[in-house]
Amino acid sequence: MERHLFGIRGFAIDTPEFGALRGRRDAAIVVENGRIVAVGNFAEVRRSPRAAGVRWLEHGNVAIFPGLIDCHTHLPQYAVVARGQSGLLPWLRENIFPVEREFTGPKARVEAPQFFQQLARHGTTTAMVYAAIYEDSCNVGFEAARDSGLRIILGKMMMDLGSYGQLQPKKILSVSLLESERLCRRWHGADEGRLEYAFSPRFAVTCSEKLMRSAAELAGQCGAYLQTHLAENREEIEKVHNLYMPARDYTDVYEKAGLLTPKTVLGHCIHLSDREINAIAASKSAIAHCPTSNLFLGSGLMKLDRCRAAGIAIGLGSDVAAGPELNMWQVMRAAVDVQTARTFHDPTVPALRLSEAFYLATTGGAEALGKRAAIGTLDVGKEADLTLVNVDALLPYSDPREHLTGLSKEDVLALCVYRGGPHATAETFVRGRSVYRAASQPKT
């Protein structure tokens, strides 16, 4: 196998534990065959035997972060971000289902590659994604994900109640299961595990008990992920209560269907009782917290401290298109803002620090997806999923004296969370392979 060896010099910042921000000024990271093989002070690493044959990338003043992890987003919805002014259920009916209905054939083939390019441009290296209900929308999504080089978990949207497709209602359930299983067998674990499958029953409002139970069984048989939405909005909860009268609560509907597993990622989880939080913790399912979406749709303020205290693994999600951007820096900022808003009503609620929001978008996301051993930090042995940020592009003035040397790790992180975005992404890597490079970056 050809040896692929290179080094990056910059301000390396990561967070191995919740709240513990680690910064290495003038650091070097050496990547060999897709893995981090050395991290340390640049001058020391360059002098060490490890540096022999290393090709050093020229990037100027960059901060080096672990690639950002988006635990919940919707491929067919990106075209209609920032549309609509209503709550969840009318928004889905009026703004989303009409767009997902069209996400097939040539439209999907044009949009899917761009969607993954945009993720990479925003510094996202791993994403857990919903396709539309069509098998081809998911195949096209996987082909684009494969070509993008990103680490993607994707699944065909499953719904058999009030679906937007053309199928006879009697056939919807069996076709949805058959197609999902076929997609899983084709894609789960492809490209040495870079692509994985998630069985994706939309939520209890649009899924029969049989669909949810069968999806859970198939996911278990295939070792695939499960993803769904839970307790996002009060009207939704009321609907689920009316549909599933015998259930104790919304979470119980999923428990009874076998959907709560260690490979399950639950989007939102805003309006949960203590019983439900404890049940999720006991099942080892994870939560994708989607604060930009929750603010955009007016869904509510997630009780992050309570879910964390129960021991639930939590990552962040852009939830495009209910979240108006793929930008995970903006999602971190909104996560901080949501907890701050809660403190206004209840001073006992702990504020969320920037380093903690950054944890949720990196190590926390990796934990939620069961990938903590592989990604999330800049430790030796991890797969080299990285995003490089041109910090100069985030400063208010282009004064060279203000460059990275004068900034602390907290300053750099704050600039990224409050002002970060694709305009400042210099380069993004997955398994040491460049998946996005800004046009203005020097060639190597």
- Binding residues for ligand GUN, rule: CB under 6 A, are 74, 88, 92, 96, 202-203, 229, 232, 293, 319, 322
Within 10 Å of residue 136's Cβ, how many Cβ atoms?
16
Find where tokens 């299983």 sit: 181
Q: 168: helix, coil or strand?
A: coil
- Does 236 bind Fe ion (CB under 5 A)? Our answer is no
| Residue 390, contacted partner among Fe ion, ligand GUN, none, CB below 5-8 A by kind | none
| Residue 202, contacted partner among ligand GUN, Fe ion, none, CB below 5-8 A by kind | ligand GUN
| Residue 314, contacted partner among ligand GUN, Fe ion, none, CB below 5-8 A by kind | none
Q: Which one of the spans 5-13, 244-252, 267-275, 351-359 is the region binding Fe ion (CB under 5 A)?
A: 267-275
Q: Which are the contacts of 8, defined by CB distance < 8 A and separation ≥ 6?
A: 28, 29, 31, 56, 57, 59, 62, 64, 386, 388
Q: Which are the contacts of 194, defined by CB distance < 8 A and separation ≥ 6?
A: 146, 149, 150, 151, 152, 430, 431
CA distances to 16, 232, 272, 282, 284 from 279, in Å: 27, 17, 10, 5, 9
Using CA atoms, how far apart are residues 370 and 374, in angstroms rounded to an integer? 9
Are 275 and 249 within 8 A, CB to CB?
Answer: yes
Find where tokens 């699944």 sit: 155
Q: 62: helix, coil or strand?
A: strand
Using CA atoms, how far apart are residues 231 and 289, in angstroms rounded to an integer? 12
- Does 319 bind Fe ion (CB under 5 A)? Our answer is yes
Is the Cβ of residue 160 or residue 319 nearer to Fe ion in the bound state? Answer: 319
Is the Cβ of residue 335 or residue 394 nearer to Fe ion in the bound state? Answer: 335
Q: Which are the contacts of 404, defined by CB distance < 8 A and separation ≥ 6?
A: 10, 11, 25, 61, 63, 391, 392, 412
Is the Cβ of residue 12 or residue 88 nearer to ligand GUN in the bound state? Answer: 88
| Residue 29, contacted partner among Fe ion, ligand GUN, none, CB below 5-8 A by kind | none
Q: What tokens does 145 get?
A: 């994900």
Is the Cβ of residue 295 or residue 322 nearer to ligand GUN in the bound state? Answer: 322
Q: Which are the contacts of 286, defined by CB distance < 8 A and separation ≥ 6?
A: 71, 264, 265, 266, 312, 313, 314, 315, 367, 368, 369
Give residue number: closest CB to ligand GUN. 322
Q: How far is the CB of 7 from ligand GUN (least distance, A)?
A: 41
Is the Cβ of residue 72 or residue 303 nearer to Fe ion in the bound state? Answer: 72
Is the Cβ of residue 103 or residue 203 nearer to ligand GUN in the bound state? Answer: 203
Q: What tokens does 298 get?
A: 């007016």
Is the Cβ of residue 187 or residue 203 nearer to ligand GUN in the bound state? Answer: 203
Is the Cβ of residue 229 or residue 371 nearer to ligand GUN in the bound state? Answer: 229
Q: How far is the CB of 127 from Fe ion (least distance, A)?
A: 12
Q: How many chain residues are in contact with Fe ion, going by CB under 5 A?
A: 2
| Residue 198, contacted partner among ligand GUN, Fe ion, none, CB below 5-8 A by kind | none
| Residue 326, contacted partner among ligand GUN, Fe ion, none, CB below 5-8 A by kind | none
| Residue 96, contacted partner among ligand GUN, Fe ion, none, CB below 5-8 A by kind | ligand GUN
- Estimate to the nearest angstrom the gap between the alpha carbon of 230 and the chain centroid: 17
| Residue 426, contacted partner among ligand GUN, Fe ion, none, CB below 5-8 A by kind | none
Give residue number: closest CB to Fe ion. 319
Task: Give the interface with Fe ion as residue ranges (CB under 5 A).
Answer: 267, 319
